[in-house]
């Protein structure tokens, strides 16, 4: 709960434009770096062939990532200034808090799913039973995946672990009143 509150407070402080464009900048920079670093490094190596290929590739990736991320940061600052001029900064901040809360819930859900794959799962079991937010957060990413794709497309081992943990939690808490991701 404290993690989610931290995300919401940070989102309110930063605003929607900064939150959304920061996320887009990070993922966009990664995608641009992954897709374009190879061709760009090949082009650079034609002009300066005496450098190591991997070094040029890493530098190209870093430059592409930084350029995309910096571009989205500049755009977010411009949009923040526009929202202040239009006197809708309060809306930007509220929506930023909502978006950041959702982003935080997705991150917590991914962490909980990751922890369920580790052999240390038994350490979390007492906390899972007492937590009101555990089951909804644990099921958030599978629900989103279900909306985008199908849980049946997940690898068999992943589905088995998710089902086992969901079933164990439902058995411990009395069954059908808990939300499912299927």
Same domain, 80 and 121: no
Same domain, 47 and 82: yes
Q: How many angstroms from the chain centroid is the CA of residue 181?
A: 19
Same domain, 98 and 178: no
pLDDT in tens, 19-77: 999 989 988 998 888 888 888 988 988 888 787 778 888 899 999 999 999 999 999 99
Is residue 63 assigned to a domain? yes
Contact yes or no for 170/138 (Cβ under 8 A): no
Is residue 154 assigned to a domain? yes
Same domain, 2 and 73: yes
Same domain, 101 and 156: no
Contact yes or no for 105/144 (Cβ under 8 A): no
Structural domain that includes position 172 = 117-182
């Amino acid at each position: 709960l404290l993690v989610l509150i931290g995300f919401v407070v940070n989102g309110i402080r930063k605003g929607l434009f900064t939150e959304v464009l920061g996320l887009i900048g990070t993922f966009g920079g990664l995608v641009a770096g992954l897709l374009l670093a190879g061709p760009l490094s090949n082009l650079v190596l034609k002009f300066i062939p005496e450098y190591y290929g991997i070094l040029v590739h890493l530098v190209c990736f870093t430059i592409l990532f930084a350029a995309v991320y910096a571009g989205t940061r500049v755009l977010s600052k411009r949009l923040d200034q526009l929202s202040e001029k239009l006197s809708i900064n309060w809306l930007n901040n509220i929506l930023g808090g909502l978006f950041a809360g959702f982003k935080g819930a997705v991150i917590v859900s991914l962490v909980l799913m990751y922890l369920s794959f580790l052999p240390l799962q038994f350490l979390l079991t007492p906390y899972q039973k007492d937590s009101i937010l555990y089951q909804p957060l644990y099921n958030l990413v599978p629900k989103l995946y279900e909306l985008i794709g199908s849980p049946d497309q997940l690898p068999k081992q992943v589905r088995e672990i998710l089902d086992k943990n969901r079933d164990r939690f439902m058995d411990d808490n009395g069954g059908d009143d808990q939300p499912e991701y299927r």
